[in-house]
């Protein structure tokens, strides 16, 4: 029996034009009857090594984002996912709330899932976790924003660091060994869970493997985003291969 794509749920997904990971990982996590429809936010492929580089990127995303929303809503999605994490936490919770409200208004009232909304529920789904390590692909300027974001959610950031990719496309090209080594460096005994930011870092399947050998939750941003969007939409299917979050919660 053939199942109609999108019969249960159609997601509109906004991603940066440089991102080659979100579309692939979301497709692998997709339950039957759910479909993902990607709209790209045009940004230049330029280095991201300074705070000024990040600020310029955020300005470009803000300038181009609503046009991507306008394009994707023509397929009549049931909900939207913002497939970029930095934009959602960069200027704190109030800015994140304004972003979500703006996207909902532009789309005619669709539910919107942001990484800044997904991580709290995703972490707490694993129990009473307080102390985190955060893996990022960002330079030092981006790491400082990350720490403030998670502290604002009530968590203690024990360690932060990662791979420090020099540009958006370079994130997707990093080998699993480089990411594995970064996880090992972050795995302090005090750390109760490891979370990963940067939606263009290919982490969803690797996180599931890391959970097994680290014996603690390892939550990839794309997994948290897709899980949260599914559950908000009432889709409770368990999906294996991406860690405990999608498989058991």
Q: Buried b / exposed e across 58-86, counting CB within 10 Å, b at 16+? A: bebbeebbbebbebbbeeebebbbbbbbb
Max Cα-Cα span within the chain: 54
Query: Under DSSP, is residue 147 helix (H, G, I), strand (E, B) or coil?
Result: helix
Looking at CATH, the fold of the domain delimited by 118-220 is given as: Rossmann fold (3.40.50)
* Same fold across 9-115+223-248 and 118-220: yes
Query: Tens of pLDDT along 176-212?
Result: 999 999 999 999 999 999 999 999 999 999 999 999 9
Architecture of the structural domain at 9-115+223-248? 3-Layer(aba) Sandwich (3.40)
Whole-number pLDDT of residue 141: 66
Q: Which residues pair with 161 in a beta bridge?
A: 135
* Residue 30: per-residue pLDDT: 98
- In terms of pLDDT, which residue wins out, 122 or 145? 122
Domain parsing of the chain, residue ranges? 9-115+223-248, 118-220
Distance separating alpha carbons of residues 25 and 156, to the nearest angstrom:
28
**What residues pair up with 12 in beta bridges, in sequence order?**
37, 80
Percent of the chain past pLDDT 90, that is, above it, reads 77
The answer to whether 31 and 235 are in contact (CB under 8 A) is yes
DSSP secondary structure code for residue 18 in this structure:
T
Asked whether residue 61 carries a pLDDT value surpassing 60, the answer given is yes
């Amino acid at each position: 029996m053939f199942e109609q794509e999108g019969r249960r749920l159609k997601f509109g997904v906004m991603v940066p034009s440089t991102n080659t990971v979100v579309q692939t990982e979301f497709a692998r996590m997709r339950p039957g009857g759910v479909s993902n429809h990607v709209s790209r936010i045009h940004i230049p492929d330029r280095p991201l090594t300074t705070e000024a580089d990040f600020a310029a990127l955020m300005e470009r995303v803000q300038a181009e984002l609503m046009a991507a929303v306008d394009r994707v809503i023509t397929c009549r999605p049931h909900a939207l996912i913002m497939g970029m994490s930095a934009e959602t936490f960069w200027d704190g919770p109030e800015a994140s709330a304004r972003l979500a409200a703006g996207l909902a208004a532009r789309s005619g009232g669709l539910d919107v899932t942001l990484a800044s909304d997904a991580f709290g529920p995703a972490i707490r789904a694993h129990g009473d976790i307080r102390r985190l390590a955060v893996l990022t692909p960002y330079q030092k300027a981006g790491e400082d924003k990350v720490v403030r974001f998670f502290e604002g959610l009530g968590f203690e950031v024990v360690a932060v660091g990662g791979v420090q990719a020099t540009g958006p496309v370079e994130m997707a090209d990093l080998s699993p060994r480089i990411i594995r080594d970064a996880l090992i460096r972050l795995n302090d005994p005090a750390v109760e869970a490891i979370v990963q930011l940067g939606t263009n870092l290919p982490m969803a399947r690797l996180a599931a493997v890391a959970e097994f050998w680290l014996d603690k939750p390892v939550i990839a941003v794309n997994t948290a985003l897709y899980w949260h969007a599914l559950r908000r939409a009432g889709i409770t299917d368990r999906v294996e291969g991406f860690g405990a979050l999608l498989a058991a919660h």
